[in-house]
Amino acid sequence: MTDVASRDYDLTAAEERPLDGPSYASVSDYVALLKPRVMSLVVFTALVGILRAPGEVHPVIAFTALLCIAIGAGASGALNMWWDADIDAVMSRTKRRPVPAGRVTPGEALAFGMTLSVGSVLVLGLLVNVLSAALLAFTIFFYAVIYTMWLKRSTPQNIVIGGAAGAFPPMVGWAAASGGIGLESVILFLIIFFWTPPHFWALSLYKADDYARAGVPMLPVVSGPDETRRQILLYTLLLVPLAMSPWFLGMAGLAYGVVSGVTGAMMLALAVKVYRLREGAPAIKACKQLFGFSILYLFTLFAVLLVEALHVPSWLSGLGI
């Protein structure tokens, strides 16, 4: 396995840049450091946490909380890209990112990530509440340090444990809106936690060569594709009833029950397809379908929860709207 920990990757272009020289980075490079597409779903799940929390949250508080969560999530993405520049430089999917491509120096990415992390936690703590700020700080720490710096390079269970970071945002949102932690916010956490392995391992099955070249011990690299397919199916079998549980438990309505049942059946059918098709182009196509559908599945579940949570708040009805 390549020794990625030695960090002897070629960042010459970035490192030889004179400190007072012209900046090669554009605004879009800094936006890319925030991993905006992945983080958009993270922020959406946080919004659902905010809107489903008990009590009524003032829209300014809700907006402030969401902005801090979005900035904190993006900041953790920048810290991930700072630390992982050596890995990103050798993977075809990631080699054009701003740090390995030399448009942003590692120091700039670190400073950007740290500033936004500290800023988002402080503002959330000062303007919203301490619990949500503590949870946001913990989530950033979990993704940037526990997952990125420790687990990702050391165990094939990296994304199972590290996936907890991606599951926290609805709890952060819930805490921001209500000041507490509720059973429903824990269930939202668990849904994302059990969703992450099928989501990521489907992609890693067809990107296994990339991870092997970079020396990252992802499950298909260490235990092989067949074991990965088995684990995807097992996690999906746990995920589907768990995703329906807000309905069983009376927290969500019939619309959620029907949608989570139908989309859960589709997710399971795709996981079975990945399990059964093992060779050639149809196997790769099945993995791509499962990866793509996993994102649609999580988005749909949270979208229905969002719609069910929408009611006319008193500050609007007070205006006669």
Ligand X SMILES: CC(C)=CCC/C(C)=C/CC/C(C)=C/COP(=O)(O)OP(=O)(O)O
DSSP state of 84: T
169 near ligand X, rule: CB under 6 A: yes
How open is the CA angle 190-42-54, to the nearest 5 degrees?
A: 65
162 near ligand HEM, rule: CB under 6 A: yes
User: Which residue in the block uniquely carries the two structure tokens 């400190």?
Assistant: 19
The partner in contact with residue 80, picked from ligand HEM, ligand X, none with C-beta cut-offs of 5 to 8 angstroms by kind, is ligand X
Q: Is 26 left (phi over 0), alpha (psi -120 to 50) or beta?
A: beta
Query: Which residues are CB-contacts of 246 (< 8 A; sequence separation ≥ 6)?
Result: 184, 187, 252, 256, 260, 305
Residue 119 CB: number of other CB atoms within 10 A?
14
Residue 38 identity: V
The binder of ligand X chosen from 2, 38, 157, 190 (CB under 6 A): 38
Query: Which residues are CB-contacts of 230 (< 8 A; sequence separation ≥ 6)?
Result: 275
Residue 269 CB: number of other CB atoms within 10 A?
14
Which one, 165 or 240, has the nearer CB to ligand X? 165
27 near ligand HEM, rule: CB under 6 A: no
CA distance 318 to 314: 6
Are 68 and 139 in contact by the 8 Å Cβ rule? The answer is no
Which one, 41 or 269, has the nearer CB to ligand HEM? 41
The binder of ligand X chosen from 35, 103, 153, 199 (CB under 6 A): 35
Contact code string over 259-298 relative to ligand HEM, x by CB under 6 A:
------------------------------------x--x
The binder of ligand X chosen from 34, 42, 116, 121 (CB under 6 A): 42
80 near ligand X, rule: CB under 6 A: yes
85 near ligand HEM, rule: CB under 6 A: no
Which one, 7 or 93, has the nearer CB to ligand HEM? 93
HSE-CB at 234 with a 13 A cutoff on CA atoms is: 7
Which region among 48-56, 71-79, 115-123, 161-169 touches ligand HEM (by CB under 6 A)?
161-169
> Which one, of 243, 232, 23, lies nearest residue 112 by Cα?
23
We find the least distance from the C-beta atom of residue 83 to ligand X, in angstroms, to be 9
Binding site for ligand HEM (CB under 6 A): 37-38, 41-42, 45, 93, 147, 159, 162-163, 166, 192, 196, 199-200, 203, 295, 298
Binding site for ligand X (CB under 6 A): 35, 38, 42, 69, 72-73, 76, 80, 84, 94, 136, 139-140, 143, 148, 152, 165-166, 169
